[in-house]
Chain A
């Protein structure tokens, strides 16, 4: 009944429910989506299959970022070598062709891999918004178990359908272990 005394949504990041198994979390996530919640996120100690799909998260631009990285690395390295050996500093070694492309392949290949790998790691971090020094979820002490053996579902207060009492009731109805209020 304490929810009657506090102003709605203002002093809250969201409500977070704890689950003991990945299956329970998966089921609850699907229920939350069906109930119309949109700003929902699930937290797990390891990747759980089907969870991203349950959150309607299918497409990420990461593969495109990696492809672009590889293309930039490969083309950049090749044309740099071309520019250097043919245009900038042509060196005649026994009349051999200046554009000796087979000799340019090893560096081209390595640079393709290097830039694509950097794009994969930095792109993943950037798209995930990491590094992030502060996050409201860590205000809940139990959340430390999200990296051990507990599974959490958070419905954020900015969800249009969010209501402190109603959402808490909903989370309790999907058989959550316990429901926490997350301070911002």
Chain B
């Protein structure tokens, strides 16, 4: 708990979201499962989901047109062959990283406060990876042959090139998606059992019952369950670091000035955590207000996440600084020109906006009053989301659009189809999130009960 050191009155009491609220095993169970099991769908939910669903239709339309006509409908061309598709891919996959960080790394560090946010952070990871995975596949040109990336014996006798970062990327992202799904599902099994036992409708009992797979909370089962969960956390921790490192290899392994840099892997991982936590805040703040979950997702959670954003933001700022320093110190004309072009070239506005969003704006989080203000935190989270998207844009486009020879210079302008696909994935993300909030417990119920047990027994002693 970085914030609490040196403040003894907080230190003596480990942060726990339900201490002193008088919650019992039954009350946490009923409160969280009621959101899922309530027969009445809130009107706000219908409205929100309806809007998101319309945006998903825009995405489907854009994808259909792309499949019919080809990637020429996007603004990409030589020299900028990687446009929005790669920008959005890297942006989305980075957002996913906070979910795994919260569920795995904070679990291994015994940070109890993670309990009330890990479930929906993991859901966010899954949905972000789903959005991310679309882009490279759509960018392939012939997306229906995407399975050629999988090594399988085939009549053409061709194999993927295992020395290529694009194949590494395929393995990294598909592993990440699978492991995130496993982690999420295994965490949900005991909660599915709770929903099965508490559901009033026979459909609910059947569906949740099948998903619970007959879980009955036997002590021997819990024992193996906890070992499996801990091992998965241990496996997911290096995985999450590896995924964005490998994504950064897509750039760093290339010989292009502005990409070919050893700082990329750590700088990408820090940026991923930075943008991911901003997205967790962006979701958590409205959700806790709408569903009245302030007792579970407390100010302590928001403050902790703000501190993580501040810390990773500083690392990202250091990354920008070192990128510039390395370019200047290299003495390489092309590297120096790329830096100069980023700062003062045709896309300079985006570069300075990025610095403002990612480096300047989070500095207000040094102030305790800002960390304690929910609206300000929400605004900063949004700014960081935008800033990280700008960072991906700057990295991808400014390095490409000035090729080595001025005769092959060009500009990249996104078309309406670029925007439709990008906005469409935001709609997909939000729609999936709405479905998740309605049909699955958004807070881990059994872990909350465990927390009740721990706090009541430690209060008694």
Contacts and interface: CB of A to CB of B under 8 A. Distances in A.
A113 B238 contact: yes
A157 B205 CA distance: 29
A144 B217 CA distance: 11
A84 B231 CA distance: 31
Main secondary structure of the interface of B (DSSP, over half): helix
Given A148-B29, A149-B24, A113 B218 contact: no
Contact of B162 (A22, A103, A124): A103
B219 A147 contact: no
A62 B220 CA distance: 12
Interface string B142-174: 000000000100000101001101011001100
A148 B25 contact: yes
Contacts of A143: 216
Contacts of B198: 144, 147-148
Interface string A90-126: 0000000000100110110111011011101101110
A155 interface: no
B273 to A, nearest CB: 19
28 contacts: A42-B219, A43-B218, A44-B217, A44-B219, A45-B217, A45-B446, A46-B446, A46-B450, A46-B453, A47-B222, A51-B219, A52-B222, A63-B227, A85-B163, A106-B168, A106-B171, A107-B162, A113-B235, A117-B178, A117-B182, A123-B228, A130-B215, A132-B213, A137-B216, A147-B194, A148-B25, A148-B197, A149-B24
Interface of B: 24-26, 29-30, 151, 157, 159, 162-163, 165, 167-168, 171-172, 175, 178-179, 182-183, 185-186, 190, 193-194, 196-198, 210, 213-228, 231-232, 235-236, 238-239, 242, 246, 249, 446-447, 449-450, 453
A113 B171 CA distance: 11
A46 B449 contact: yes
Contacts of B235: 66, 70, 113, 116-117, 120
A174 interface: no
Contacts of B213: 125, 130-132
A60 B25 contact: no
A127 interface: yes
Contact of B151 (A80, A113, A133): A80
B159 A124 contact: no
A167 interface: no
A32 to B, nearest CB: 12
Interface of A: 22, 29, 41-48, 51-52, 54-55, 57, 60, 62-63, 66, 70, 80-81, 84-85, 88-89, 100, 103-104, 106-107, 109-111, 113-114, 116-118, 120-121, 123-125, 127-128, 130-135, 137-138, 143-149
A132 B179 CA distance: 24
B193 A52 contact: no
B217 A60 contact: no
Contacts of A121: 182, 185-186, 228, 232
Contacts of B162: 81, 84-85, 103-104, 107
A103 B175 CA distance: 18
Given A44-B217, A144-B197, A66 B231 contact: yes
A68 B157 CA distance: 31
Contacts of A130: 213-215, 221
Given A80-B151, A120-B235, A148-B194, A128 B221 contact: yes
Contact of A51 (B167, B210, B222, B446): B222
B171 A149 contact: no
B307 to A, nearest CB: 29
B230 to A, nearest CB: 9
A125 B212 CA distance: 11
Nearest to B192: A147
Contacts of A46: 25, 190, 217, 222, 446-447, 449-450, 453
B197 to A, nearest CB: 4
Contacts of A137: 216
A164 to B, nearest CB: 23
Given A113-B235, A148-B26, A52 B219 contact: yes
B178 A106 contact: no
B196 to A, nearest CB: 8
Contact of B223 (A43, A57, A80, A134): A57
Given A52-B220, A106-B171, A106-B242, A120 B228 contact: yes
Given A106-B171, A113-B175, 4 more contacts: A46-B447, A51-B222, A55-B220, A110-B168
B214 A149 contact: no
Nearest to B246: A106
A47 B227 contact: no
Contact of B216 (A54, A106, A127, A135): A135
A83 to B, nearest CB: 10
Most buried by A among B25, B213, B217, B236: B217
B239 A62 contact: no
A147 B197 contact: yes
Most buried by A among B197, B231, B242, B450: B231
B175 A147 contact: no
A21 B214 CA distance: 23
A62 B227 contact: yes
Contacts of B151: 80, 84
A125 B179 CA distance: 16
Contacts of B236: 113, 117
Given A103-B162, A106-B172, A125-B213, A114 B179 contact: yes
